[in-house]
Structure 1
Amino acid sequence: MASPALPVNIHVSTHPCLRAKLSQLRSKDAHARETKSLVHEIALIVGCEALAKCLQTTSSGTFGHANPADEQGETPLGYTFSTETITPNVALVPVLRSGLGMLEDSSALQALLPEPVPVHHLGLFREPTTLQPIEYYNNLPYHRPTSVNPDPFPIPSIAILLDPLIATGGTSSAAIQTLLEWGVRKVVVISVLGSEEGVRRAAEENGSESVEVWVGGLDGQVDERGMIRPGLGDVGDRLFLTIGK
């Protein structure tokens, strides 16, 4: 359970189903298919908790009527109802590679959202000696506005950053900084597990008003290799069967 001293923008799940699934995921006996399923299921639970707090709904017609009174749907029995859509506009940003386990195959976070949203990928790895993050891929759309098209690609208000493990916090912090510099107003980090040190570091990036961190569990220590203790091992290696590379 989260320490009372944690900043208010850090949220640690206490869901009993998640706690049991996290124990299953920790086991070295969980093979790649089980690992993928457990990462997906835990991300789904954490995502439900996070999006319930950071998104809202507004009434909106689905048929393009000019008259607000006509902005209604109809049930199979002919009853009318006011339709709702989520606000504000959001984008999903998985951190390569392991973040794909929280996203791909239309699972987890994509399945939670009622409509398709943009998905942008950030590739970062941790340099083994210094443990500092190095960005090797960035597909955020840096389009230049023109007089004909002043807003070629509207920047989302909220970026949902998918990073299964927050160990030292360096990678998450670098990704958060990149998204805020792009113009996102708020970054919501969703993670399966983090160390207290790493989660604090990510949550403190640019102040608590711009960042929220939601994690399935919190461990107390990071070893000399920057791995969480007891942790989950390298989730990317476990997901893609590259253990021992």
Structure 2
Amino acid sequence: MHIHNLSIQNSILNSFISEIRDVNIQKDRMRFRRNIERIGEILGYEMSKYLNYSAQLVETPLGESKTDIFDNDVVLCSILRAGVPLHNGLLNYFDKAENAFISAYRHQTDNPESFEIIVEYLACPNLEDKTLVLADPMLATGQSMVATFEALKPFGTPKTVHLISVIGAEEGVEFLNQNFNNDTHLWIATIDKTLNNKGYIVPGLGDAGDLSFGEKLQH
């Protein structure tokens, strides 16, 4: 797997990452969502450099301009609900993309330190020979991303797969590296070292879904 960690080189992206981590700035949900969206735009832009292009002539009022235009059939797939702001950022740049949505959540087992990933809702177009972009803001253990990809397999085999995440743990990145083929690309804003005993990224930022949309009731 090709790993593109954007935090290796300093950029304005650092400011957005700092703000989504900050416990005081996090209190503003609209700002938190917007920062996730902007990070999605940056990740999408960097990813676009690895897609396919073809030359096209564009007619201007004064003549013609030859330009290499992006020509991939892209499907953006986000994991609900935390993935919505990230999805919006990607969609701002890939405005002609098809879209897929899937719900995946952690189900605690009898062991309080372990869990399984449950997939319930899935809406997806045909993926055959398309560019699949699978987005989840928090890459903790990596199990959600792998379970989501498995759930998408009945919809066809993508030509290429790109994984998008905001913050990941080294353990999760390694898990994806072991479970996706060598042609897969991971685009990630930054990578933290550890997980706590509940599988949350440390230092991370907390629960991205709660910070975006409010705390959820457990049932």
Asked if the contact 1:176–1:205 (Cα under 8 Å) also holds between the matched residues in 2, the reply is: no
**1:149 matched residue in structure 2:** none
TM-score between both structures, scaled by the size of structure 2? 0.87
Where in structure 2 are the equivalents of 1:1-12 lying within 5 Å? 9-12=2-5
1:15-34 to 2 correspondence within 5 Å?
15-29=10-24, 30=26, 31-34=28-31
Matches within 5 A, 1:198-237: 198-209=172-183, 211-237=184-210
Gaps of 5+ in 1: 1-7, 61-71, 142-152
Give the equivalent residue in structure 1 for 2:143.
170
Query: Hey, what's the Cα distance between the residues in 2 that align with 1:124 and 1:18?
Result: 27
Whether the 8 Å CA contact 2:128–2:159 is kept in 1: the answer is: no
The RMSD of aligned alpha carbons is 2.0
SS at match of 1:37: helix
Q: Is the 8 A contact 2:75 2:127 kept in 1?
A: no
1:73 counterpart residue number: 58
Q: 1:177 to 1:34 in 2, by over 3 A?
A: same
Higher strand fraction (1 or 2) = 2
Question: Which consecutive segments of 4 or more residues in structure 1 shift more than 6 A?
Answer: none
1:185 CA displacement = 2.8
Following superposition, the deviation at residue 156 of structure 1 comes to: 4.7
- SS of equivalent to 2:120: strand
| Secondary structure of 2:197 counterpart | coil
1:131 matches 2:115: yes
- 1:122 corresponding residue in structure 2: 102
Structure 1 116/171 Cα, relative in aligned 2: closer, same or farther at 3 Å? same
Q: Percent identity?
A: 26
Q: Distance in 2 between matches of 1:125 and 1:92?
A: 19
For 2:149 and 2:65, the matched residues in 1 are separated by 39
Deviations 1:80-118 (A, max 9, x none): 1235432331110011111111123xxx111212x4111
Unpaired runs of 5+ residues, structure 2, are: none
Alignment of 1:98-109 (within 5 A): 98-104=82-88, 108-109=89-90
Q: 2:66 aligns with which of 59, 79, 82?
A: 82
For this pair of structures, how many residues does the alignment match?
A: 209
Tell me how far apart the structure 2 counterparts of residues 243 and 168 of structure 1 sit (CA, whole Å): 21
Structure with higher Rg: it is 1
